[in-house]
Structure 1
């Protein structure tokens, strides 16, 4: 893909140059980095929202140093797909913006508000020379101050969307199809977690253990984002 020939050759050397087809190849390369990431599943019901994903590591790695899920605020968190370093910078930015909102308005930030701020900063990195797009997508879950559960995503291009359930990373299309068939609004938190684990297993070629599985939840009643411990994850497995 990097070795281009013909009319579109060379258009991937500059971030701000469109190809004759109207494409920005550097942004497409960032999207490809996301597609090669491990599968993440985000889903919600009236009871709340959950993220189910898995960490990829080798036997010699310390698994406690690998994070796929991050907390942004008391009621908001996210899973990442793509380049971890880029994702970490975006998460730090989101944490600051959440606190700025609290100090300015004396209330928790809404999930669509912080998602839009992240999408805006990503879009800025697609229109300036001397920088490159963030090779990272974020799957964000949370509960708004009015008790509305949210599942939202941002892409390297700066687009953002809200979902009842979605996936990102490797094999995301197959997993999204299965999610569309089985998810409904009346499911409990336990039900959506079990559904997410089932779809993750069915859509992953490799066998995985409880040490690689990560689950985070936020309920409509408590409005607190929580990453489950390994003991809690084992119960669901």
Structure 2
């Protein structure tokens, strides 16, 4: 820890002289220790992938779900503190239902992402709380088409063609920047995503059964079975 930093990282509401909020930066560090996950837009839909770290062979694999449905047309994948992710996903599910009751359908995913981002941003403004230690990728389809967003612990959101989070973010991003094409079909996107994950994940055990989900325009989210995933891995 740098000299003088201690005075500015005790509370979330205190800026350092160079304009930094250390607690937010620490939350981002927590995300960097999480599982690697990514989203990819293809020609007529969106794809989500995540490595699956099993800490012990005594853990039931079915209890570890990185990809979570918010709605039939919206799903998330997270990296960071699992408990924080669960709370925010529940918040997003309520927001999605409120949007449906108000407008009849989830017409714009960006509105939902902004609600979650606003919730995360509030926890960077008040004393006695800490930021959420999680980043979330939102993917789905709406009246605009396929959408892919990333939301970080500061509540910052951006829309992407492809985005990665977690421990292998930089390696995955470098790989996809070289290989990505706007006109990719679903099959090509899955192969690209798996190859990108493999380039970033050192532990081969966590890549034996990665989680994969996809959605095409006019359809609902499909979460791949173990058999479907193995077909691509082989």
Which category of TM-score, normalised to the shorter sequence, fits these structures? over 0.9
Structure-2 separation of matches of 1:210 and 1:180: 21
Q: Let me know the Cα RMSD of the aligned residues.
A: 1.3
Q: Give the structure 2 partner of residue 134 of structure 1.
A: 132
**Greater than 6 Å deviation, 4+ residue runs:** none
Q: Give the structure 1 partner of residue 21 of structure 2.
A: 24
Structure-2 separation of matches of 1:15 and 1:108: 34
1:70-89 to 2 correspondences below 5 Å: 70-89=68-87
SS at structure 2 position matched to 1:215:
strand
Gaps of 5+ in 2: none
Q: Give the structure 2 partner of residue 174 of structure 1.
A: 171
Structure-1 separation of matches of 2:7 and 2:118: 27
Is it true that 1:38 corresponds to 2:47 in the alignment? no
> Of 110, 135, 151, which residue of structure 2 is paired with 1:154?
151
1:144 offset after TM fit, Å?
A: 1.0
Q: Give the structure 2 partner of residue 97 of structure 1.
A: 95
Is it true that 1:231 corresponds to 2:221 in the alignment? no
Contact persistence 1:46–1:220 (CA under 8 A): no
Gaps of 5+ in 1: none
The alpha-carbon distance between structure 1 residues 63 and 198, as it changes in their structure 2 partners (threshold 3 A), is same
Q: Give the structure 1 partner of residue 117 of structure 2.
A: 119
SS at structure 2 position matched to 1:61:
coil
1:46 offset after TM fit, Å?
A: 2.0
The alpha-carbon distance between structure 1 residues 34 and 210, as it changes in their structure 2 partners (threshold 3 A), is closer
Q: Give the structure 2 partner of residue 8 of structure 1.
A: 5
